[in-house]
Structures are given as structure tokens and as C-alpha cells.
Amino acid sequence: MQTGKITALYVRFSYDDGIDAESGSIEHQKSLLRSYAESNGFTNLSNYADDGYTGTNFNRPDFQRMLGDIHKGLVSTVIVKDMSRLGRNYLMVGQYVEIEFPKHNVRFIAISDNVDSAKGMNDLLPIHNLMNEWYSRDISKKVRAMIRQKGNSGQSIASKLPYGYYNTSEDKQTWLIDESAANVVRRIFDLYLNQSFGMYQIARILKAEGIPRPTYHRRMAKGIKVEADDLCVWSASVVRDILQHREYIGDTVNFRTEITSYKNKKVIHNSDDKLKIFPNTHPAIIDKETFQKVQNKISKVIRHTRNVHSYLFADYLYCMDCHSRMHGRQCYLKGGRTLSAYECSTYRKSKGCCFHGVPEMYLQAEVLAKIQNVLAFAKSNSAEFRQNISKALEEQSDGSKAVIQEELDKAQARTAEIDKYIQGLFEAKVRGEIDGSLFASLKKTYDEEKEQLNKLIIDLITKLSRENEADEKIQLLYAAIRKYDAVWELTPEVLTDFIEKIEVGQVSAENKKISFELRDNQISVFFWGVGIIDFM
């Protein structure tokens, strides 16, 4: 019977299949196949096993290894427990059983389904494969519904916990802080926020200090020995991911991603409106004020050089006229002296605007004085300061949150009503109560109203988001005022705590005749949440 080639015993098990773990286990399948093979005279047996792989995924390690051996002409027979072990996509299963295996003279046997290609294929085999796929689709729907329900209830549905946390096999929902990793997370936030290092620079620092990257840290925490050339090779993208992970302030964030279908396992990253956020569900590693400052800083899309950045105001300066960034540069003065300064990037690239050069020492004196004045006023006249801040915010706002929320609720309720009316029109048309022309006319009217409502809803959500963002930013300023009794020196940390941005204007005509390092520029300092403070 045998030709010296391999008899491939292929087994697969996944809990997603919904079969009994004991009867469907890898070891049970191996035992069944070996017993069948030996009883029927098959020799040179070789096991191929994929444990934990769903039937809709054909990119399984041992399945691909078996295909490789088939293509090399090493396999004469493939034996499986049943057709579903080979796969649950009827088109792919049919391709392998009816085309790929015969092309390489490979006999195929599915024991439980009484399929043996040497005896001729059953005409009902395609229907059987289709039923296996339908079963997989049904299981997928049930699993998705379970995950959706779990996610909406506030339980974490993440497949793995963020770097810095761990849980136990007995209690998957309780997040515990992994202190060694959490200290690295805190250091990353400090390097980025208070020491003005860029993400690429932070990655280089962590590599130089020999800190294992998150993937390998998880394995090592489980006692798995890791030997890899890239053990401590961090990337800027990993650093960015850590800096933007809201879970570090103690919130659970569900539905970050979704899979397109049970056949296509491509992962899609959802937009913010699809996320479900549940606050204060586990211990925080980063405080909320620090996290918000980091998000504000990242949103500026700052480009750091690969060398250690030495310009104190590089993340804050904008041209007052063209609103482009201002970049740091070294100015060479008479006598061989150098001076740190900033100039408009549009002017620097010769794309318009005018010269907006400003010395760093001038900025240091002006910005420090403004911060000191705000801090002194807030400390000595706390009630008046908060009252003036509230008045300034009311003047800036184009509508209160309550009014916006009320309009949003009305628009969403009306949209739901229209959907019901359209459904009613369909049912009336099916029952013959209205004709097609009336149906089309009424539906068009409702569709047009719904389109306008959807535009309004998007606009209201945007406004509400701005209001919420303003509330969060003003809390950053209040936190900075509580943090400092006095400020005597301008440091990256002080700038981060108080300042959102700084705009620099042109030098007056009289000042242009003065030596560059002595010139005065018009500058506007924007504090977190409120902007320019001019009521003192």
C-alpha cells in the first residue's frame, strides 16, 4: 500500500469551534488517526498539529508545513478526523481536496465523514463543507455578540494587557501593576514631557540602558527564557503607543479594533467615536494631568531631531502672521559669539512671510515674567482669578455645553424617529397600502431631512468635544498653580505645566536698528485652557 512516502496525520483544535475540549483535543485526534492508520496498513506516519487555530484561517504553521511537504512530493496520503479539521471555508477546503491534493497525487481521507478520495468523492461533499462554514459563521456571530456585550458592560476585552500591567489566570478582569514595567512607563512620560526628548530619542535611551522591549518583557515575566538580538531594541512607534494609551490613567478602553469578518482576519483600527471608555476601572500608572499634557504635546505634531534637542521653546513657538512653526537656530555675532534664536519656518524656506527672529534669552525673560505674574495673582487673589478665568472662557465659548447637548439629543432622537418612519413606509408598501411613487416621494423627503440632521449631529459633537477639551485644559492650569509656590527659573517642566503655545510678531521699525540680541519682539503667551491672560 505504501510507496515510502509520508502518511500525514493532520489534527487541529480551537475553542472557537465550539466542540468538546476532551473529544476534540489534539491528543485525542492523534490517537484516533494513528489507530485508523495502523489498522488500515498505512506506515511512515507523520503528525502535523495546529493547536489554537480557527478553521477559517489556513495560514496555520503545521498546515503550511504539510503543504510544503506535499509540494516537495514527500506525502502520499493526508488523514483527518473530519472535514472541519481541515478547515471551515468551503471554497478553500474544496480547492485543497478537489484540486491541490489530486494535482500532487495525494490521497485524502476524512474518517468521521466517510470521505476517501481513492474510492471517489461524494457528490454531497461541497454541501457538507458549506455547512461547516455556516457553523463557523454562526460561532463567530455568537463570539462577537458575547464580546460586544462584555465590552459594553465595562469589562476589558483586550487580548493582552498594556505594558505595565498583568493579571492572574484566576482573575482575568483584575489588573495589577507590574512595578518594573510601570517605572519604565513613568520614565517615558517624564522624558517626553519634562525633558523634551522625542520618541526616537527615548527609544535610543531605553536601548542603551538595556531595558527589554514590551513583547520580550511579557515573556520573561512568565519565566520564559528569551534570547534575541533585538531584546532591547525599542522603536519610536512603541514609545508613541505607550504615550497615547489611555489605560495608564486607570480607564478601560474597549473596541479600539475590530476584525472585518470571520473569514478575513484583517484588523481595523476604529475611530474615536466608536470607542467605549469606562473611567477608573483599575490602578493608574500616570496621573490624568500628565497624560493630558502629553496628548496636547503630541497633537502639535512636533518633529524632533535625532540629536538631543537643545532649544527650550522649540515645541511652543509660532509665527504671529503666518502661524507656521518657528525653529531654533544658532546666530553668529561679531567677535565669534553665538546666540540661540528662533525664526519663522516659512521665511526660512523663502516661501513668504517676513523675518521674525527672536533671541532665546529675550523669550526666557518675557515668558518667565508672565508666568510669575499669573502665579502671584492666582495665589494672592484666588477667588478673583477664578472668576476672571470663568468670564474669559464664557466670552470664548460659542455656546454652553448644556445647550449643545440638548440640541444633540433632539437631533439624534429625530434621526431615530425617521428610521422608524422609513421602516413603516416599507411595510406599508409591502402590504399594498401605498404605491411605489408615493413611497419613493416620502422616502426621499425623509432621506433629505436625515442627511441634514447627520451634518448637524457631526457639528454638535465637534462643538461638544471642544467644550470638553477646554474644560480639561483649564484644569491643567489650575493644577500648575497648585503645584508651584513660586517660579524662579524657566525649565521644560515649567513650560509644559503652564504654556500651550507662544506667538511671536515682527520687530518694530525702530528696533531693527538695534543689535539683534537686544531687540524686543511682540509676543503673545497662551496659557492652558484660557489663552492670553490680560486681566491682571
Which pLDDT tens digit goes with each residue over 51-105? 888 777 788 899 999 999 999 999 999 999 888 888 877 677 878 888 889 899 9
CA triple 128-130-136, angle to 5 deg: 110
Check whether residue 280 and residue 340 sit in a common domain: no
Residue by residue, DSSP assigns 395-454 as: HH-SS-HHHHHHHHHHHHHHHHHHHHHHHHHHHHHHTTSS-HHHHHHHHHHHHHHHHHHH
Check whether residue 274 and residue 386 sit in a common domain: no
Q: CA-CA distance, 241 to 246, in Å (whole number)?
A: 10
Torsion sign over Cα 154, 156, 158, 162: positive
User: Phi first, then psi: what are they for 366, rounded to 5°?
Assistant: -70, -45
Nearest to 286 by CA among 165, 206, 189, 161: 189
Task: Decide if 167 is inside a domain.
Answer: no
Check whether residue 319 and residue 347 sit in a common domain: yes
Check whether residue 343 and residue 196 sit in a common domain: no
Task: Decide if 264 is inside a domain.
Answer: yes
Three cell numbers written together for 423: 421602516
**pLDDT tens-place string over residues 487-503:** 898 888 888 888 888 99
Residue 22: the pLDDT is: 47
Check whether residue 103 and residue 187 sit in a common domain: no
Torsion sign over Cα 526, 362, 194, 215: positive
Three cell numbers written together for 157: 476585552
Check whether residue 282 and residue 316 sit in a common domain: no
Check whether residue 135 and residue 180 sit in a common domain: no
**pLDDT tens-place string over residues 175-228:** 889 999 999 999 999 998 888 788 888 998 998 899 999 988 988 888 888 788
Domain boundary among 295, 319, 354: 295
Exposed / middle / buried, residue 11 (Cβ in 10 Å: 0-12, 13-18, 19+): buried
Q: CA-CA distance, 208 to 200, in Å (whole number)?
A: 12
- For residue 475, pLDDT beyond 50: yes
Q: CA-CA distance, 298 to 300, in Å (whole number)?
A: 5
Q: How many domains does the chain have?
A: 3
Check whether residue 126 and residue 203 sit in a common domain: no
Q: Show the domain range for 483.
A: 309-536
CATH number at residue 91: 3.40.50.1390
Torsion sign over Cα 112, 117, 119, 123: positive
Residue 308: the pLDDT is: 42
Total residue length of the chain: 536
Which residue is associated with the grid cell 477646554?
Answer: 470
Residue 430: the pLDDT is: 76
CATH number at residue 265: 3.90.1750
* DSSP element (H, E) containing 369: helix 360-380
Domain boundary among 253, 272, 295: 295
- For residue 478, pLDDT beyond 90: no
Residue 511: the pLDDT is: 52
Nearest to 251 by CA among 285, 299, 300, 294: 285
The packing angle between helices 288-299 and 436-483, to 10°, is 120
Check whether residue 501 and residue 443 sit in a common domain: yes
Domain boundary among 234, 266, 295: 295
Q: CA-CA distance, 413 to 427, in Å (whole number)?
A: 22
Residue 112: the pLDDT is: 81
Alpha helices in 104-198 (DSSP H): 125-152, 179-193
For residues 12 and 520, which has the higher predicted lDDT (pLDDT)?
A: 12
Average pLDDT over residues 237-241: 90
- Kindly report the pTM of this predicted structure: 0.46
Q: What percent of the chain has pLDDT over 90?
A: 15
535 close to 348: Cβ distance less than 8 angstroms: no
**pLDDT tens-place string over residues 140-185:** 555 566 656 666 666 766 768 889 898 877 777 788 899 999 999 9
Nearest to 203 by CA among 235, 246, 228, 168: 235
Return the top range by mean pLDDT from 399-408, 461-470, 520-529. 520-529
Task: Decide if 146 is inside a domain.
Answer: no
Task: Decide if 230 is inside a domain.
Answer: yes
499-507 β-sheet, strand order = 317-319, 499-507, 521-527
Task: Decide if 145 is inside a domain.
Answer: no
Q: How many CB atoms lie within 10 A of CB 341?
A: 21
Check whether residue 287 and residue 322 sit in a common domain: no
Q: How confident is the model at residue 23 (pLDDT cuts 50, 70, 90)?
A: very low
Q: How confident is the model at residue 242 (pLDDT cuts 50, 70, 90)?
A: very high
Task: Decide if 376 is inside a domain.
Answer: yes
Residues facing residue 80 across a β-bridge: 110
Residues facing residue 77 across a β-bridge: 7, 107
Q: CA-CA distance, 137 to 10, in Å (whole number)?
A: 23
Check whether residue 531 and residue 426 sit in a common domain: yes
Check whether residue 61 and residue 127 sit in a common domain: yes
Q: CA-CA distance, 84 to 12, in Å (whole number)?
A: 9
Task: Decide if 301 is inside a domain.
Answer: no
Task: Decide if 156 is inside a domain.
Answer: no
